[in-house]
Structure 1
Amino acid sequence: MQKVMGWRWAFFIGGLIVMSLGITMSIKGKIVGTSPWDVLHVGLFQNFGLSIGTWSILTGLFIVASTSIVLRQWPKIGTWLNMLLIGSFIDVFNWLLPSTNIYSLQVTYFVIGLFVLSFGCGMYIAPNMGAGPRDTLMMILVEKFGGTIKTARMGIEVLVTIFGWLLGGPVGVGTVVIALTSGYIVQYSLPYCRKLLMKCIGNIEDMKPFY
C-alpha cells in the first residue's frame, strides 16, 4: 500500500509540475494568446500587481470557497494541493524561463507549452487523487443545470476569457487553439499515463479515489 501511494503521489505532484511548466511556456508565448484562465490571471497581474501564480492561487481559492458552500463539504486534499502547487510552480518557472520579444521564439514557447501542459494534465489526473478547483466547478454546473461537460467547460472559459480581455489579458488565436486542442491531447496522454502508473504499482484495485 505504501508503494502504491508513493507512486500515486509521484504521478500527481509530477503532473502538476509538468502542467505548470507548460502553462508558463504558453504565457511566455502570449503574443499569440494564452489559455482562457491565464488570460484572466495575466490581466489581474497587469492591473493589480502580485504575480501570475499568486492570482492563479487566489482565483482557485475563490472557486474552492464557492464550491464548498454549494457542496456543503470540505475540499479534498488533492484540490488544495492542485490550487497551491500550480500557482507556486508557475511563479518558479516564470522566474527560471527566459522571456523573449522574438515572435518565432514566442510561438515556439506556445506550441511546446501546449503539448507539455496537456500531457501534465493527463499525468496528474491519472492517479485519481482529486480534481482541481476549476474542474470541480465544471462538474457542479453539469450536476446542477444539466448539459455536457464540454458545454460547461466552454461556457466557463468564454466568460473567463471575456473578463480577462477586459482587464487587458493576452487574448489571441492561441487562446482558441488551447481551448479546442488541449482536451484532445489529454485524451491520449491520460490513458498512456494510467498504463504507465499501472506498470509501476501493478494493481488496478488500488486506484480508487484518494480523499
Structure 2
Amino acid sequence: MMFTFGIVLTLQSGLGISPFDALLVGLHRTIGLTIGSWEVILGALMLLLNALLLQRHPAYLGLLTALMIGVCIDLWVVILDGWVQPETLAGQLICFTLGLIVNGFGIATYLQANFAPVSFDGTMLAVTELTGFNVSISRAFIFIVLVILAFIFNGPIGIGTLLITFLSGVTINFFHPYVEKMKRLIELG
C-alpha cells in the first residue's frame, strides 16, 4: 500500500514519474484500461519475457505481486483524484518529495518481505545475467527503453522522472536498515 501510495503521489505532483509508471500511465491515456490493469498486463508479459530470456519457468508468484500493486494503484488514484492536485510549484514539489519518500520506504519494506519480486526487478536481473553488465547498467538500459516507450505512449515524463531514476535507489537504501531493524524487532515478538 505504501509503495503504491508513493507512486500515485508522484503522479499527482505533475512533475513526472518513474519510467515504468510513465509507461503504465501512457498506455492508460492512449489505449484505455486503468493504470493498475496495465501494471498487471505488463507484469505478466515481463514475467514471460524473463522466463524466456533465462530459459526458466515463470515466477508465477510475481503475478500476485503485480495484481496487488495494480489494485492498490487504482485504489489510490480513485482516493487521491481531485483531493491531491497541487496547483503551485511548491505544492508540486511537496507532493513529489512526499511521494518519493513514501515510495522508498514502501519498497524497502516490500523487499524485506522477501516475497515474489516485481517483474521489473526480474527483467533487470535477467538483463544482468545475460549481458554480464552490473545491476546499475542493466537498470539504466531498461529505464532508457521504458522512457522511450512512455514517450511514444504520451506518458508523464518530466523532471520527476529524472529525479526518481537517480534518487529512488538512494531513498530505498536510506530506509533499508531501519526497516530491517523493525523486521527483527517484530520477529523477536
TM-score (structure 2 length as normaliser)? 0.92
Mapped to 2, the partners of 1:38 and 1:127 lie a distance apart of: 22
CA contact (8 A) 1:126 1:191 kept: no
CA contact (8 A) 1:25 1:109 kept: yes
Match of 1:82 in 2: 65
Count of residues paired in the alignment: 185
Match of 1:62 in 2: 45
Match of 1:96 in 2: 79
Mapped to 2, the partners of 1:149 and 1:72 lie a distance apart of: 20
- Cα RMSD, aligned residues only: 1.5
Mapped to 2, the partners of 1:194 and 1:127 lie a distance apart of: 10
Match of 2:180 in 1: 194
Q: Deviations over 1:32-77 (max 9, x none)?
A: 1111111111111111111111111111111011112333213152
Mapped to 2, the partners of 1:63 and 1:102 lie a distance apart of: 36
Q: Give the 3 Å change call, closer, same or farther, for CA 179–145 of structure 1 in structure 2.
A: same
Percent identity over paired residues: 28
Q: What amino acid is the match of 1:179? A: T
- Contiguous gaps of at least 5 residues in structure 2: none
Mapped to 2, the partners of 1:39 and 1:90 lie a distance apart of: 13
Match of 2:161 in 1: 175
- Contiguous gaps of at least 5 residues in structure 1: 1-16, 204-211
Mapped to 2, the partners of 1:46 and 1:86 lie a distance apart of: 19
Mapped to 2, the partners of 1:179 and 1:202 lie a distance apart of: 36
Q: Which one of 49, 71, 81 corresponds to residue 32 of structure 2?
A: 49
TM-score (structure 1 length as normaliser)? 0.83
Mapped to 2, the partners of 1:136 and 1:96 lie a distance apart of: 30
Structure 1: 4+ residue segments shifted above 4 A: none
